[in-house]
Structure formats: structure tokens, C-alpha cells
Structure 1
Amino acid sequence: MPVVSTMEDERAVGGIVVGVDGSARALEAVRWAAREAASRHAGLHLVSGFDPAIAWYGEGGPVPPVPVDSVEQAAKADLVRAAAVAREVAPRVPLRTERARHQPVPLLLDESRRALMVVLGASGRGGYRGMLTGSTAVSVVAHAACPVVVVRPPGTPGGPVVVGVDGSPASARALEVAFDAASRRGVPLVAVHSWSDADYVTLPVQYGLVETAPTREEQARVLAECLAGWQEKYPDVRVDRVVLKDRPRHCLLEWSGKAQLVVVGSHGRGGFQGMLLGSTSQALLHHARCPVLVVRP
């Protein structure tokens, strides 16, 4: 894969990867990732992808070289601008930039195999110059090998870290990541467990499969069991427990207006088997009012 790469420090490899396409949202993602890299003493790797389709048109006829050259020059300029933003936010963080002649989604998924996390803007430009459309972010979140942060509005300064908990393997991993994030930021952790009657199936007795929605007390015990051990491991983190009978996505979207970060699993207990992203994570990616960190099991 042909690349144009600059390296300031080898420690930038395997650190936090940020997709860059010149959009304002991508630069917000760079700022967020630079602060996160500084707090983790990790490197920052800014990448820009290239869609080979822009080199062809019509019945396979090549586009004249001037437009393609212009796209390349613009992409390299976007990387320079993004690097300047990163240095302004975190001047001591090891930094690497890379312009890769590879489609954005495969590029970011490949990087996710070595990265601590991948950070994307909520949406990018799309088209010739851009790479981070909304569909790109959803695809990366669904298939990445590491946690993915989608940076939406900056969130509430000093607000808590909010985590969705439902007892699934993905939410167990999200809980671990959320405790770490709250500890690093020195803020409380709000653990949200919500449910609705639609999550539970009630069938006639003759089928031998009768399941009724549990009580609030039973759901509170589920949350307590999920939190067991974590508060001992992170004694510095104050935990506020929220147990509500409501759709999880409704509850977490409301909390996103008060939080600086929302953490969820990629696919929770209530979805269909085989789906890579649940409805809750999908809703947060598109509508949350703060950055969203999605964790796969």
C-alpha cells in the first residue's frame, strides 16, 4: 500500500489513530484525541485515506491528472493543518501523519488492529476530498478491533463519564473502559441501567416459555452485580447508579447532554443475534450531545 508518511517519534505507532479529511468535525476529533493521548502518554497517528474511485469516471476512463493532483495536495494540506492543531493542544505528544492510497474504511480497520483507539469526527465531507462520511464512522465502529470514539459536540466540561450497563459481554468491557476514563479525568461515573417491557417476551403458558419484565429491585441487583469489584479497583471514582424503566437509548441520549463522554458496548443484550451494532449505539452515534466511545466485547 503506497503511503506518504512522516514520523516524529516511533512511539506514535500503536497509539491513538485519528481519521483526517479536512472537515471541521475531523479537526474536533484531532483536538479530542490529542488531549486523550497526552493523558495516556501515548502517541498520536493522523491518517488520511484515498478512494481509488476518484481516479476513474464513466466507462472506466481515467480522470485527467490535474484534479487528482489537486485532491492529493489538498489532502496533504489537511494533514499539515491537523498536525498543527494537535501540536497546539498537546505539544509533547509523539506525532505521526500518513496519507495512504487506500480506502478509508479498510485503512482505519487495519489501523485498529494496532491502535489503543480510533477517533473520528461525527461526519466528514464525503465526496472527492473527504473520507469520513457518517456511513464510514458506522462501519468502523461495527468492525474495529479496538474501541472507537466518535466526537460529536464537545460535551459538558467537568461533566461525568456515563456508561450504559445491561449485563452483556460488550457492556462489561464498556464498564472497564468507562471506569478508566473517569479515573483519568477525575470525574464521577454514572452507571445507567434501563429497560423496557419490549425487551422481554411474554408467551402463553402452553408454550412453556413465559418471561415477565423484572421489577426495579431486580434490575437494581443486576446493576450492582455488574459493578461488583470495579469500585474496589477504582476507589477514586465516585459511582452514581441510575436504574430506570425506559428505552436505553432514550436514557443515554438524555444523559449525553450532561456528560463529557458516553461509553457503550457495540451490541447489547436486547438486539438481534448477528447484528454488529445495536440500536442504542446507533442512536448515540447519530444524536448524542457529547463524544461517544463504543467498545466491542
Structure 2
Amino acid sequence: MSAEQPVLVGIDGSRDGLIALGWAAAYATLRQARLHAVYVLDDQPQLPTSTRPTGPDDGSEVLEDALQELERIGFTTASLEVRHGHPAKILLELSERAQALVVGRRGMGGFAELVLGSTSQACTALSTKVPLVVVPDTWDPAAPAHRRIVVGVDGSLEGQDALRFGFELADATNAELVGVHAVEIRESYPDPSVWTDPSRPPWADATDELLARTLDDWQAKYPEVVVDHRAVADHPVRVLAHESELADLVVVGGLGHTAFSELRLGSVARGLLHHSHCPVAVIHHS
């Protein structure tokens, strides 16, 4: 990842697109990188006939709105352009020459899926080259930062890329990093009434070892980062969604597939996109 590569953000004329633009501008400032905003005119729009624009769309209004938003937040060095084609495909092609891709959770394409915009889901499933950040419409850039970055920890080799991204960002923003592991409750676990220590569940030793083994090396590389960790017995999506309420970013690993199918997106990442209260970074392992 080169500092000369831009932070790429998809805009679409929606409020969600402007929110994503704001997050991308802040990230570009942090990375001392250029910001490149792209509006893709879909050759086959999915909007219902009654909601389609009555006149030709050359993208000028969308770019003007984006420029006004960038001026409002004091970021005036971005480049903007209009492309034609499938939004997800175009953004993914351009992301090969970027250091991060940022999209809104919903937008004009949100009619395809009422809860999650089809473009953001397709991009998240397929982006294997660079970090992909999906910004929900609930993110408020004016709210005080929590200075807390949550990383989903599962002990896998693929999860190391997500930890690297989380630690780098925590170090750059003076944020606490919280490693969270969701515990799958096995039927073989005894009833809590027969635990040797009622305050310590039977899986605690294994999860403590996993979290220490996973986080200690990264903490040694980033000694200035304050690190916390916890294991919670619940579904990973519910655990991370709950953690997102008091986080600036949740970082999870994805699947390194390239086939054009939303099924290639890991179930945890896909579920979290629906429910997270803060931006989600999906880091694919190639």
C-alpha cells in the first residue's frame, strides 16, 4: 500500500454517499493521501420507473453536491469523475490502483435491497486487493470520537491482515484496540450450576490463550497502542454489532475469493454490514 495511491470513494447523489465521502476525506487526511471520488452512471439502473430521473443524467449535479460537501468540511484537494457501467465493477477496477475503497451502506442502489445497498455488498464480497470500508448512514462525523477500534479475532491466519489494519489505525489515531472473540457454546459444556468456578466459564482458558497468542505479537510491534480483549458467548454478528455502538470502526476479515457472487462474502462480515452502528472495514486475505 503506497501513500501515493488515492483513497477511493463511491458517490451516488444520496445522503449515504455524502456520509461515505466525509469518512473517506477524514481517512485520506490521516493517511496523507489523495482522495478520488467517483460517480458511476449505471447503464442498467435498478430504480423503479416512477423514481428514475426525468431528464438526462450527466453526473454534474452529483459532483457539485460532492464538491459542496468537501468544501463544507474543509477538504478541497479531491479529484472527482464520472464513469459509466456497473457501479460495483467500476469501483473494484479502480480500487486496484487505490489504497482503500469506501462506500456507503445504502444509497440510490438501495432499492435493490431494502436493508443493504447492493453495490456495497458486491464490493465487500469481491474487494480482495485493498481494505473496503462500508459507512452506515448512522455514522455522525460531528459526534465525539470513541477512540476505540474493535477487531474481530478468530485465531486464523486470514485474521492477521485485519489485525494489522486495526493496529496501524489505532496507532495513528491514538485509539484503544479491542480484540473480540465470539465463543461458540458447545453442547458438551457442563451446565453453569456445576462449574468449578461459577464466575469463570469452562471455555475461558482456551479463549484467553487464543486472544493472548493472537494479540501479543501485534502489541509488541505497536507498544504505544492500548490493547484490551474479551470473549463473549454469542453469535459473532451480535457480539460485534453490540461492540460497534461504542466504537469508531469495526474491523473483520473477509474471504479472498474473486467470483462475482455475494455468497463469497463471509457470513460474519455480511451480517455485520446490516447491523453495525459504526463503519466496518473488511480486510480480505488474498
Quote the residue 2:264 is aligned against: 276
SS at match of 1:123: coil
Q: Which position in structure 1 is the counterpart of 2:135?
A: 151
Contact persistence 2:40–2:90 (CA under 8 A)? yes
**Alignment-derived partner of residue 70 in structure 1:** 56
Q: Does structure 1 conserve the Cα–Cα contact (< 8 Å) formed by 2:6 and 2:36?
A: yes
Matched, 1:243 2:231: yes
Counterpart Cα distance in 1 of 2:185 and 2:60: 52
Match of 1:119 among 60, 79, 102: 102
> Is the contact between residue 3 and residue 32 of structure 2 (CA under 8 Å) also seen in structure 1?
no
After TM superposition, the structure 1 stretch with the greater mean CA deviation from structure 2, 22-31 or 222-231, is 222-231
The Cα of 1:14 is off from its aligned counterpart by: 2.8
What SS is found at the alignment partner of 1:106? helix
CA distance in 2, matches of 1:127, 1:240: 36
Q: Is the 8 A contact 1:261 1:290 kept in 2?
A: yes
- Which letter does structure 2 place at the counterpart of 1:242? R
Per-residue deviation, residues 151-193 of structure 1 (Å, max 9, x unmatched): 1122663311111010223321101100111112211111101
User: Matched residue of 2:56: which SS?
Assistant: helix
Whole-angstrom CA distance in 1 between matches of 2:91 and 2:66: 17
CA RMSD of aligned residues (A): 3.0
Cα distance in structure 2, aligned partners of 1:181 and 1:40: 9
Measured in 1, the distance between the counterparts of 2:158 and 2:121 equals 17
Please report how far the alpha carbon of residue 13 of structure 1 lies from its aligned counterpart in structure 2 after TM superposition: 7.2
- Flag the 1:107–1:21 CA change in 2: closer, same or farther, 3 A: same
Partner of 1:28: 19
> Which of 99, 105, 108 matches 2:82?
99
For these two proteins, the number of residue pairs brought into alignment is 254
Q: Give the alignment of 1:176-187 within 5 angstroms.
A: 176-187=164-175
The amino acid of 1:117's aligned partner reads: A
Specify the alignment match of 1:85 in structure 2: 69
Tell me if the contact between 1:13 and 1:45 (Cα under 8 Å) persists in the aligned partners. Answer: no
Question: Structure 1 residues 275, 48: CA separation in 2 closer, same or farther (over 3 Å shift)?
Answer: same
Cα deviation digits, residues 106-140 of structure 1 (max 9, x gap): 10110121111111111001289xxxx71111110
More deviation, 75-84/142-151? 75-84
Asked whether the 8 Å contact 2:126–2:265 carries over to 1, the reply is no
- Please, what TM-score do these two structures have when normalized by structure 1? 0.77
CA 1:90/1:226 → structure 2, altered by over 3 Å: closer, same or farther? Answer: farther
Aligned to 2:192: none
1:63 counterpart residue number? none
Distance 1:167 1:275 in 2: 23
Q: In the alignment, which of 34, 45, 63 is matched to residue 36 of structure 2?
A: 45
CA contact (8 A) 2:236 2:268 kept: yes
Partner of residue 163, structure 2: 175
Q: C-alpha distance in 1, partners of 2:229/2:178?
A: 6
Which sections of structure 1, spanning at least 5 residues, go unmatched? 1-10, 55-65, 201-213, 269-273
Residue 183 of structure 1 aligns to a residue whose secondary structure is helix
**Residues of 1 paired with 2:253 and 2:276: CA distance?**
15
CA distance in 1, matches of 2:227, 2:278: 20
For 2:87, give the aligned amino acid: P
Alpha-carbon spacing, 1:13–1:86, altered in 2? closer, same or farther (3 Å): farther
Contact 2:3–2:31 (8 Å) recurs in 1: no
- Matched-pair contact (CA < 8 Å) for 2:253–2:269: yes
Unaligned runs of 5+ in 2: 46-52, 189-201, 257-261
The answer to whether the aligner puts 1:110 opposite 2:93 as a matched pair is: yes
The answer to whether 1:19 aligns with 2:10 is: yes
The whole-number CA distance in structure 2 between the counterparts of 1:39 and 1:90 is: 14
Question: Where does residue 209 of structure 1 map in the other structure?
Answer: none
> Normalising by the residue count of structure 2, what TM-score does the alignment of the two structures yield?
0.80
